[in-house]
Structure 1
Amino acid sequence: MTTEESILNKIQILITNHFDTPQKAFEFFDEDSDRKLSKKEIVKLLKDAEINGFLRGIVSTKLVEGYDKNGDELIDWEEFKAAIAKIKK
């Protein structure tokens, strides 16, 4: 399993075990209720998914780079759904 697969797997486990739906997870981690996840909010999600502290900053940056389609350096609900869809594949 690659590092990316391992990280996505941990995120899936977190969402599956602690939230009724991916949208509930998104809303939980969207601390400022702006309907977008900032890098800080993504780091919190990664921490809760038990991603190593050293990797959190790197992974949050890579997640934003990989899934931020509109270039605002945030992950909105549609972009989050795309990431979740990749996890489920």
Structure 2
Amino acid sequence: MLSKETILNKIQILITNHFNTPEDAFAFFDKDGDGKLSKDEILKLLKQAEITGFIRGMIASKLIEGYDKDGDDLINWKEFKSAIDEISDESE
């Protein structure tokens, strides 16, 4: 299984290489425009970040479990930003 740091690093690379800002990345993956990322939307993000299909579902569940602070099984912008800030802190 990939480490949390490896997964977050792959997400950071995706955001850095394909989007101008984390907000742009969030908006791109928030396909229904509800301001929250569902598990399906997170799966698409992980696929774009080149996380293999075999473990993608488990990782999506773990990301929701780890960053979903309000308990709605979705990742809103504030929760997504928290994950991005954690990535930024680790890479400095």
Q: Please give the TM-score of this superposition, normalised by the length of structure 2.
A: 0.93
Q: Which residue matches 2:59?
A: 59
Shift of 1:25: 0.1
Runs of 4+ in 1 over 2 A off after TM superposition: none
Q: Which residue matches 1:79?
A: 79
Aligned AA (2:60): S
Distance in structure 2 (CA, Å) of the matches to 1:6 and 1:43: 16
Aligned AA (1:84): I
Aligned residue runs from structure 1 range 15-26, under 5 A: 15-26=15-26
Distance in structure 2 (CA, Å) of the matches to 1:3 and 1:54: 15
Aligned AA (1:46): L
Q: Report sequence identity in percent.
A: 66
Shift of 1:55: 1.2
Distance in structure 1 (CA, Å) of the matches to 2:55 and 2:17: 22
Shift of 1:3: 1.3
Kindly indicate whether residue 14 of structure 2 is the aligned counterpart of residue 14 of structure 1.
yes
Alignment deviations for residues 35-75 of structure 1 (CA, whole Å, 9 cap, x no partner): 00000000000000000111110000000000000000000
Distance in structure 2 (CA, Å) of the matches to 1:38 and 1:21: 20
Structure 1, gaps ≥5 residues long: none
Where 1:10 maps in the other structure, the secondary structure is helix
Q: Which residue matches 2:36?
A: 36
**Alignment length (residue pairs):** 88
Aligned AA (1:20): N
Q: Please give the TM-score of this superposition, normalised by the length of structure 1.
A: 0.96
Shift of 1:11: 0.2
Distance in structure 2 (CA, Å) of the matches to 1:86 and 1:52: 22
Aligned AA (2:47): K
